[in-house]
Amino acid sequence: MKTVDLNADLGESFGAYTIGCDETIIPLITTANIACGYHAGDAQVMAKSVRLCRENGTALGAHPGLPDLVGFGRRVMKVTPEEARNDVLYQVGALSAIAHAEGLTLHHVKLHGALYNMAAKDYALSKAIFEGLKAFDPNLTMLVLSGSEMQKAAEDLGMKTACEVFADRAYMADGSLVPRSVPGSMITDENEAVRRTVRMVKEGIVTAIDGSDVPVRADSVCVHGDGEKALLFTRRLKEALENEGITLRTFA
Amino acid sequence: MKTVDLNADLGESFGAYTIGCDETIIPLITTANIACGYHAGDAQVMAKSVRLCRENGTALGAHPGLPDLVGFGRRVMKVTPEEARNDVLYQVGALSAIAHAEGLTLHHVKLHGALYNMAAKDYALSKAIFEGLKAFDPNLTMLVLSGSEMQKAAEDLGMKTACEVFADRAYMADGSLVPRSVPGSMITDENEAVRRTVRMVKEGIVTAIDGSDVPVRADSVCVHGDGEKALLFTRRLKEALENEGITLRTFA
Amino acid sequence: MKTVDLNADLGESFGAYTIGCDETIIPLITTANIACGYHAGDAQVMAKSVRLCRENGTALGAHPGLPDLVGFGRRVMKVTPEEARNDVLYQVGALSAIAHAEGLTLHHVKLHGALYNMAAKDYALSKAIFEGLKAFDPNLTMLVLSGSEMQKAAEDLGMKTACEVFADRAYMADGSLVPRSVPGSMITDENEAVRRTVRMVKEGIVTAIDGSDVPVRADSVCVHGDGEKALLFTRRLKEALENEGITLRTFA
Amino acid sequence: MKTVDLNADLGESFGAYTIGCDETIIPLITTANIACGYHAGDAQVMAKSVRLCRENGTALGAHPGLPDLVGFGRRVMKVTPEEARNDVLYQVGALSAIAHAEGLTLHHVKLHGALYNMAAKDYALSKAIFEGLKAFDPNLTMLVLSGSEMQKAAEDLGMKTACEVFADRAYMADGSLVPRSVPGSMITDENEAVRRTVRMVKEGIVTAIDGSDVPVRADSVCVHGDGEKALLFTRRLKEALENEGITLRTFA
C-alpha cells in the first residue's frame, strides 16, 4: 500500500498576533511542524497547538528557526554549527516539555526558513544540529528536503529520516529547488501542481525546469497553512492523492 | 547522618555578557539552578553550564523566570497562572533537552526572582506552575522557599519538595523573609550568618526579627555565585557545616 | 466652532504579523498613535505608518508601551518612574527620527496599554515620563485620559495637554473608567455609544454608571482601528458628530 | 595645528550586565559611540552614557547595530538596505531623544560590528542607511572606515565624514583591514601599534601587510573601552600623540 504524509508549518501565531488557519488545516493534514518561539510562536501558542494536534491525531513535530522574530526566521544569519545545535535543542526541548505535559511525544523535527535553507546546502551545519537532536532523543525523525545535505547528514548519523517535496515549487536538474528569485520557480497552475505531486509520490520522479526527469523521495508533501486558497488546494491535493489509492499517513 | 544541600543560581551569563563565577562556585556547591533564557542565560551558556555540572557532579536544576531580560526577571509582571505554567514548561524543557544531549537529567526546578517571590505568596500561581511540571516529569523536585505557598502547593500535588533557607536574610515571625526594603532585612555580620545557618540546618529553627524562635525546613541553603566575597563566604559556610558533622549533599 | 479629534492606536503590526486596518482607518481619523517597537510595531512598520499619516494629513503621535511584545504591553510590570521615563524617551525618539526622515514632526504622545492605565492612576510615574518628554521636545502634546493623574501631571508641567474620552466605555462617578472586569463596563449598544459621545463632546458631560452626571474633557475620542465593525462604528460616529456641526480636527 | 580624535565603542552594558569601563575611558577619549539597544545597551544605560559624555565634554555619537542582542551584533544577517535604513534611524532617534532630554545633541553616527563590516564593503547598503540619516539630521557626521564603501557613500551624499583607523589592525595593500582570520591581522606589539598610529595620523600612511605604503585618512583612531590593558594602551597612545604635538580633539 502506497502512503504519503501531508505536513504544514503551523503554530506561528505570537502573543496578540495571529498567522495561519491552524484549527482548519490541522484536521486536513497528517503532520504538523510547530514553531518554537525563536522566529514565531510562544509558550501559549505552543500549548494550544499541541492540544490541536492531540485532538486531531495529527503527528506533532518541532519547527525550530533562527533567533529573528521580526524577520520571521527568513533572513540568513551567520551562526556557527555549535550555536545552531544548541539553539535547536533549546527550541525542540521547549516544545517537547509542553507536549509531554499534554500527554504527547514529539514525533519529528523540521528546520524553518533560512535555517532550513542553510542546512539544506551545508552538511557540517546539518550534522551538528542533528547530532544534538540524536543525543537528546534518538527516536526523533528528521524531516528534510529530498536530495539535500540535510538528508545526507541525517542518514549518515543513522537517524530516522523523512523527505519532503513541494507541490508548488520547480526543481533543478540536480534535485534542488529553483530559487524563488528565478522566473518559473513557482508552479502557479494548480492542476499542474497536483499532477506533479501525484507523480512525485507514485513514481518518485519530477520534471525539472530543464525538462529532465529527476528522482525525488516523497515521504511527505509540504502544504501551506494560511489563507483560504491554501486550504482549498490542500483539500484538492488530498482528494487527488486518495483517488490514486494513496493513503495519507504520517511518516513512520 | 545529618545532610544539607548548598544551592546557587547560576548560568546567568548571556551572549557577550558575563555574570557569576560559575567555574569557581560549581565545584563548591552541591546543586546548581541554571537560568533558562527568559531573564538570563542563552542556549550556549546553558550547554556550558550543563557540562560544568556534569564535570563536577553537581546536581542540575532549572531556574526559570519571567520574560524580562533587561529587568533580569526581577520586576513583578502580572502574568496569569496559565501563562506562567507554559512559560515555565518552555524554559524547563529547553534546559532538559540540552541536559539530555549532554547525558544529564534534570534534578529539580527553582523559580527565579520576581516569579519566585510571586509564587511564594500565591498558591494558585504555584499550583498551576507545578501541575505543569508534574505532568512533564513527576520525578522533578521542586526547590521552594521554606514555609511558602510554593511549598504548600508542591506538597499538595504530592511532588518531591525541598525547602531552602537563606544565610543572609532576616525572617519574620511567620517564617517569611523580611522584605529587603525593611531595615535589618539582611544579615551583614558573616559570623552571625554562619551561626544562624548552622542552627537552621541542625535544629530547624531561626530567630526571627522580633526575637521569637521560628521553625524552618532547611533542606538546602541558598548561596550567591558572583563575586569574591560570595565565594569566600560559601567556603566558610561549607567548612562550618562540615565541622558540625553535617554532610553536604544535594536533596534526594 | 466646536471641534473634536478622533484618535486611534495604530502601527501595531510586527514583522510578518498584521494587526489593524491602518490603510482604511487612517483616512477616517484626525490623529494616529503609532506603536514604537516595545509592545508592537517595528522600524519598518513605523516608517510605513508615518508615510500613511503624511499621505492622509493625519496628525502623527507616538504610542509607547511597556517592553512586553508577547503580552502586547497589556500586562502590568513594576517599572520605576526613571525606567519608564527612559523607555518612553527611547521609543518616542525612535519614531521621531523616522518621522523626520519622512518630513514629518511628531505631534503628540499617548501612552499604551498597561503603561497608560498605570500612569492614569500614578502621578509620580506620569510626571517622570512627561518631564522626560518635555526636556526632549516641549512642543509635544500629551494625549491623556480625561480626569486622570496623567492629565494633572501634564498640566502641572505646563505642557500642552489633550484629553480623550471613550465612546464604548462606562464611567465611574469620579470620572474614571469602569474597570473592564465590572459588569456594564462596556457600552455595547452603538446608538447609545454615539449619543454619549456627542454629549461628551458638546456638553462635556457623561452619565456615570451610578446615574450621576460627570464632567469630562473631550478634546479627542478614541476609536478602534481593527476589524470591520470598528470601521463601521467610526464612520457612523464621524457622521453623527458632523451632523451636530462639530468639525473633526486634531487637537491644537 | 595637527589634531586627531580618539573614539571608543561604549554604552554596551545591558540591564544587570556590565561590559566596558565607561567611567574610566570616557575622560580619556574625545568621542564616544554609544550602543542603542539592538546589539547592546538599553534605555537606562543610554541615559547614563549620555550623562557621562556631558560631564566629560566627550562628543556623543550613536553606535547602531543589527537586531541581535545574543550575538552582540557580530553575526552577519541578510538585511535589505531598506530594513537597515529604518533600523538605524530607529536606534539613532532613540539615542537622540535621550540626549536631547539631557541637553546634548548627537554629533555623529558609527555603525557597529557586522553592520559596520557589511556596510564597509556594500555601497548600496551604506547609501540607504546614510540617506536616512541625512534626511533625519543633515548635521550628523558619519564616522566611517577609511577607504571603505561607507566613506564613498557618505561623501557622495555630501555628508560630513570622518575616517577612522585602527592602531591594532594590519592593513591590506588596498587600504582595507586584514581579516581577523588571517595570521598577522592583529598588531600585538604595543610599541609598533603606537608607531604605526602616529605615522597614520602625521603622514596619512600605513605599511600594509605586503610591505607596501598605503594612504589612509586618520581623522580618528578607534581604541577599546574594556579591560585594564585597553585603558593602559589608550593612555600610552594619547601620550605618544601629544608628544608629537598632535592635539586630541573630536572631528569637526
Please report residues of A whose CB lies closer than 8 A to that of C19: 16-17
pLDDT of residue D1: 79
Cβ–Cβ < 8 Å for B132, B154: no
What kind and span of H or E run contains C8?
Answer: strand C3-10
What is the Cα–Cα distance from D98 to A18, expressed in whole angstroms?
34
pLDDT of residue B227: 83
In order of B220, C154, D64, the CA distances from B108 in angstroms are: 12, 50, 41
What nine digits make up the cell of C214?
460627570
Question: Three-class SS string for A22-35?
Answer: HHHHCCCCCEEEEE
Sign of the CA dihedral running B219, B231, B63, D43? positive
Q: How would residue B88 be classed by pLDDT, with cut points 50, 70 and 90?
A: very high
Q: Which of A7, A71, A69, A76 shows the shortest CA–CA distance to A41?
A: A69
What average pLDDT does the structure give for chain B?
A: 96
Strand partners, D220: D5, D164
Angle at C235 between CA C231 and CA C236, to 5 degrees: 115
What is the Cα–Cα distance from D181 to D185, expressed in whole angstroms?
7
Between chains, do A94 and B98 touch, taking CB under 8 Å as contact?
Answer: no
> In terms of C-beta density within 10 A (0-12 exposed, 13-18 middle, 19 or more buried), how is residue C63 classed?
buried
Between chains, do A94 and B93 touch, taking CB under 8 Å as contact?
Answer: yes
What is the Cα–Cα distance from C216 to C164, expressed in whole angstroms?
9
Cβ–Cβ < 8 Å for D97, D145: no
Residue D31: other Cβ atoms inside 10 A: 29
Q: Which of D224, D93, D110, D233 shows the shortest CA–CA distance to D161?
A: D110
How many B/C residue pairs have CB atoms within 8 Å?
27
What is the Cα–Cα distance from D112 to D74, expressed in whole angstroms?
8
What is the Cα–Cα distance from B53 to C128, expressed in whole angstroms?
45
pLDDT of residue C105: 97
Sign of the CA dihedral running C143, C147, C153, C154? positive
What nine digits make up the cell of C21?
486596518
What nine digits make up the cell of A217?
523521495
Cβ–Cβ < 8 Å for C154, C161: yes
How many A/B residue pairs have CB atoms within 8 Å?
87
In order of B77, C216, D9, D134, D156, the CA distances from D159 in angstroms are: 45, 51, 22, 7, 8
The answer to whether A93 contacts chain D (CB < 8 Å) is no
Please report residues of D whose CB lies closer than 8 A to that of A77: 68, 71, 75-78
Alpha helical stretches, state H, A102-148: 113-121, 123-136
Cβ–Cβ < 8 Å for C159, C138: yes
Per-residue pLDDT, averaged over A185-209, amounts to 96
What is the Cα–Cα distance from C177 to C172, expressed in whole angstroms?
6
Q: Average pLDDT per run of 10 along chain D, which is 252 residues long?
A: 95 97 96 98 98 98 98 98 98 98 98 97 98 98 97 98 96 91 93 96 96 97 90 96 97 88
Q: How would residue A138 be classed by pLDDT, with cut points 50, 70 and 90?
A: very high
Angle at C83 between CA B38 and CA D46, to 5 degrees: 90
What nine digits make up the cell of A2?
502506497
Is the pLDDT at B68 greater than 90? The verdict is yes
Cβ–Cβ < 8 Å for D47, D16: no
The answer to whether D139 contacts chain B (CB < 8 Å) is no
Residue D7: other Cβ atoms inside 10 A: 27
pLDDT of residue D252: 80
Strand partners, D164: D145, D220
Give the nearest chain D residue to A83 (CA atoms).
Answer: D71
Burial C106-116 (b: 16+ CB within 10 A, else e): bbbbbbbbbbb
Q: Name the 3-class secondary structure at C5.
A: strand
Which residue, among B12, B14, B17, would best test binding to D if mutated, counting the most D CBs under 10 Å from its CB? B17
Between chains, do D15 and B42 touch, taking CB under 8 Å as contact?
Answer: no
Per-residue pLDDT, averaged over C16-25, amounts to 96
What is the Cα–Cα distance from B16 to B20, expressed in whole angstroms?
13
Is the pLDDT at C225 greater than 90? The verdict is no
Q: Name the 3-class secondary structure at A107.
A: coil
The answer to whether C81 contacts chain B (CB < 8 Å) is no
Spatial CB neighbours of B117, under 8 Å, sequence gap ≥ 6: B76
Residue type, A38: Y
C-alpha A156: how far from chain center? 20
Cβ–Cβ < 8 Å for A182, A163: no
Between chains, do B42 and D70 touch, taking CB under 8 Å as contact?
Answer: yes
What is the Cα–Cα distance from A28 to A248, expressed in whole angstroms?
10
What is the Cα–Cα distance from B146 to B164, expressed in whole angstroms?
6
Between chains, do C67 and B67 touch, taking CB under 8 Å as contact?
Answer: no
Please report residues of B whose CB lies closer than 8 A to that of A38: none
Q: Dump pLDDT digits (tens) for A43-100.
A: 999 999 999 999 999 999 999 999 999 999 999 999 999 999 999 999 999 999 999 9
What nine digits make up the cell of A251?
511518516
Please report residues of D whose CB lies closer than 8 A to that of B67: none
Alpha helical stretches, state H, chain C: 22-25, 43-56, 81-101, 113-121, 123-136, 149-156, 190-203, 228-243
Q: Using only the alpha carbons of chain C, give its radius of gyration.
A: 17
pLDDT of residue D225: 83
Strand partners, A110: none
Between chains, do B75 and C75 touch, taking CB under 8 Å as contact?
Answer: no
What is the Cα–Cα distance from A38 to D75, expressed in whole angstroms?
16
Cβ–Cβ < 8 Å for C153, C126: yes
C-alpha D123: how far from chain center? 18
For residue A164, what is the DSSP state? E
Please report residues of C whose CB lies closer than 8 A to that of B79: 71, 75
Where are the extended beta strands (E) located within A89-129? 108-109
Please report residues of B whose CB lies closer than 8 A to that of A83: 43-44
Spatial CB neighbours of B24, under 8 Å, sequence gap ≥ 6: B231
Cβ–Cβ < 8 Å for A59, B57: no
Q: Name the 3-class secondary structure at D128.
A: helix
Q: Pick from B67, B70, B75: which is nearest to C78 by CB?
A: B75
What nine digits make up the cell of D94?
532613540
Q: What backbone torsions phi and psi does residue B247 show, to the nearest 5 degrees?
A: -85, 130
What is the Cα–Cα distance from B159 to B109, expressed in whole angstroms?
12
Strand partners, C5: C220
The answer to whether A68 contacts chain D (CB < 8 Å) is yes
Per-residue pLDDT, averaged over A188-201, amounts to 96
Per-residue pLDDT, averaged over A26-40, amounts to 98
Q: Pick from B16, B18, B19: which is nearest to D72 by CB?
A: B16
pLDDT of residue C20: 95
Cβ–Cβ < 8 Å for A96, A34: no
Per-residue pLDDT, averaged over B166-195, amounts to 93
Q: What is the dihedral of CA B167, B170, B174, B176, to 10 degrees?
A: -70
Residue type, B15: G
Residue type, D78: K
Q: Dump pLDDT digits (tens) for C157-213.
A: 999 999 999 999 999 999 989 988 899 999 999 999 999 999 999 999 999 999 999
Q: Using only the alpha carbons of chain B, give its radius of gyration.
A: 17
Between chains, do D89 and C94 touch, taking CB under 8 Å as contact?
Answer: yes
Residue type, C115: L
What is the Cα–Cα distance from A173 to A167, expressed in whole angstroms?
16
What is the Cα–Cα distance from C103 to D135, expressed in whole angstroms?
8
Please report residues of A whose CB lies closer than 8 A to that of B41: none
pLDDT of residue B128: 98
Q: Dump pLDDT digits (tens) for C113-140.
A: 999 999 999 999 999 999 999 999 999 9
What kind and span of H or E run contains D239?
Answer: helix D228-243
What nine digits make up the cell of D111?
555603525
- For chain B, the chains sharing at least 3 beta-carbon pairs closer than 8 angstroms are A, C, D
What is the Cα–Cα distance from B147 to B149, expressed in whole angstroms?
7
Q: What backbone torsions phi and psi does residue B60 show, to the nearest 5 degrees?
A: -105, 125
Q: Is the pTM of this model over 0.90?
A: yes
Is the pLDDT at A225 greater than 90? The verdict is no
Cβ–Cβ < 8 Å for C92, C36: yes
Q: How would residue A1 be classed by pLDDT, with cut points 50, 70 and 90?
A: confident
